[in-house]
Amino acid sequence: MMRDHTMQHHQKRLRIAIAIILILLNITNVVKSNIITISNTENDIMLGETVQVHVSLSSVEGVNGSATYWPFVNGSQWGSFCTIDTSTQLFCKIQIPIPRSGIAQIQIAKLDRMWCQNDKCFFPVGQQLPSNIDKGSVSNVIKISVKKRKINSYNAKTVCMDWEPWFTRNNLGSKPWLQRPGAEGVPIVGLYSSFNSNVVRQHAIWFAEAGINCILVDWSNNLWRNISWEDRPLDIQEIINATTFALKEYENMRNEGLIATPRVVIMTGLLNGPISNMASTKALEKQANWIYTNYILKFGIENFLVIDEKPVLVMLDTETTIIPNVKWNITTSFTLRWMGTQLQNTPFLGLKSGFWSWMDGSYIPIPAMRSSSGNHKIVEALTVTPGFFTTHGGWLDKSAGSYNAGATFIKTMETAMKLKPEILIICQWNEFAGQSGGPPGLYVDSYNISLTNDMEPISLSECAYVRPDDEGQLPICNTGWGFFPLNLLKASLSIFHNIATTSNTSSVLRIMEPKEIGTVVRIVAGEKNFLNVTWAIIGAGTHGKFDIYFNQQIVQSNIINTSTSILNLDDLKAKGIITKSGMYEIKVVALNGYTRFNLSHIKMDKMMLKPNKTASATRIITIET
């Protein structure tokens, strides 16, 4: 019996040991398949700056396909997610701007791409880390020290950004961000609501640093179809509430004394689109009175755009060819400015009637002219844009201006530098909306990543709404612009404000032709083969000399008095510069230009104290021989 008892004891110990080993093996497998590690290169940043977080998996064992990884800052979701497809990579990168000083504790959680894109949860930004999440799906914590700083804005000239406050539940068309037609990207700050104070702050920081000192708040569709001001629907009330929320946050920021806030002007609307959309003048009058009482008197006239000692109220009318003859009592409280659109078709509205423009379908925008003292004409306002659609066929028309790696924006800025308007309007910051099918053959608002006029920083690697013919498909997209438009804006406005050109030492140069996307040049035997190269430039070197390089070999030099040149491809082939079918680089160099900004995609640029001599731009094309 003693022997049997000893044997039973050994068997029991063996079973316990085996069980422990199995448990350890199981735990090891779980850890290997779920460990998420994050790291960064900077532990200290200044208020509003961006930290890049590297997200990596320790193993792909047990992990199949792709998964999304979401950043949380101090326990709340903040910033764009990133995707890891384990068939191709074990890491991803996230850029996270921090709009509040103090210690920012960053953690990454593995969550479904649509975890907060449903009826119960529309806006991930600001949501708490789910309490029921598996510990293996959460990363380590990194701590970033965010130091206070004073952020001033340039005020040499008035620069207004068209800004949307319509990221609310009833203004997304009952569709979450990632399913919203025209939402061409995922904002760097994340999929946000207009009722998030961190979003308002980060936008204000970026505006101040870029040289934006005014926002044009879009209320243009608030009173469509002759509704009364008292009967405005819930979606319109949400836009009003979101605007009020932003103004209150601006007031908080001014009281803190750190971040310069933009002046505000409200863009209301008499008519946008079909005549059936026309608003009633009585409703517009009541709306104006409400704005004056609840905004101007409450927050102070000094925080609004002022002309002729009164706050400005902009009235959109996209259909008229004359100043509408309306009877209302608005101009006693406001300086009224009419705004049209596509004024390339009716230039007299700007040149003769002083209409501002929301966006022109032209590389040469139409100025709003106004008489000053002595009947002298001044350029009161001009609108520039990174992309434009036209009235002929929307974004898909051949006459539309695509993003084109920033060339469209610089081309429209050439007119601004020439005319020097008192008010520069930029269309636009954050529409993120468009048509799933559009009117027959006509897409407006935003179409995709290159056919849009939005400029807010978006993720470099994530798509939102994906059209069937878009480049950069799920699960991992590769078409986001990151910080590039914001840096292009900052570089351009430093020149417009005359900040970087005190000694005439800053330039921005971009290539217009050949186009950024899909340029294929075929060299046909027995025919003459040429390639047109065109560029746009502002700042130093505008009227200087230019060189053109083809695959790093200079092919034309000391070009003057023009911004276009023609390359003889047959000559380049005969000289052995073009040898076979493939990709080739074209480079335009402004010999009398200077570079002060890197135009980074991953963070906001700081102006170089000592500029680099010359300015340049490159373009990759495909040649078929």
Average pLDDT value for the chain: 90
Cβ-based neighbours of 564, under 8 Å, separated by 6 or more: 513, 532, 533, 534, 535
Q: What is the pLDDT of residues 476-530, one digit of tens each?
A: 677 799 999 999 999 999 999 988 665 579 999 999 999 987 789 999 999 999 9
**Average pLDDT score over residue span 416-434:** 96
Q: What is the pLDDT of residues 130-189, one digit of tens each?
A: 988 998 899 999 999 999 999 999 888 999 999 999 999 999 877 888 888 888 899 999
pTM for this prediction: 0.92
Q: Cα separation of 396 and 390, whole Å?
A: 9
Extract the tokens encoding 221. 């569709």
Q: Cα separation of 132 and 199, whole Å?
A: 27
Q: How many CB atoms lie within 10 A of CB 375?
A: 6
Q: Cα separation of 247 and 181, whole Å?
A: 29
**Average pLDDT score over residue span 539-549:** 96
Q: Cα separation of 126 and 62, whole Å?
A: 31
Local confidence band at 23 (pLDDT 50, 70, 90 cut-offs): very low
Residue 310, burial from CB neighbour count under 10 angstroms (0-12, 13-18, 19+): middle
Answer whether residue 21 shows pLDDT above 50: no
pLDDT of amino acid 405: 96
**Average pLDDT score over residue span 305-332:** 91
269 conformational bin, left if phi > 0, alpha if psi -120 to 50, beta if neither: beta
Q: What is the largest CA-CA distance in the chain?
A: 122
Q: What is the pLDDT of residues 278-303, one digit of tens each?
A: 888 999 999 999 999 999 999 999 99
**Average pLDDT score over residue span 304-320:** 95
Q: How many CB atoms lie within 10 A of CB 142?
A: 17
Peptide bond just before 468 cis, omega within 30 deg = no
pLDDT of amino acid 538: 97
Closest among 192, 230, 185 to 79, alpha carbons compared: 192
Please state whether beta strands 564-568 and 530-539 pair in parallel, antiparallel, or not at all (unpaired): antiparallel
Answer whether residue 8 shows pLDDT above 90: no
Q: What is the pLDDT of residues 209-224, one digit of tens each?
A: 999 999 999 999 899 8
Extract the tokens encoding 141. 């914590």
Local confidence band at 324 (pLDDT 50, 70, 90 cut-offs): confident
Chain length of the chain: 625
Closest among 165, 49, 69 to 124, alpha carbons compared: 69
Q: What is the pLDDT of residues 368-386, one digit of tens each?
A: 999 887 778 999 999 999 9
Local confidence band at 440 (pLDDT 50, 70, 90 cut-offs): low
User: Vertex 406, ends 413 and 47: CA angle to 5°?
Assistant: 90
pLDDT of amino acid 4: 44
Peptide bond just before 428 cis, omega within 30 deg = yes
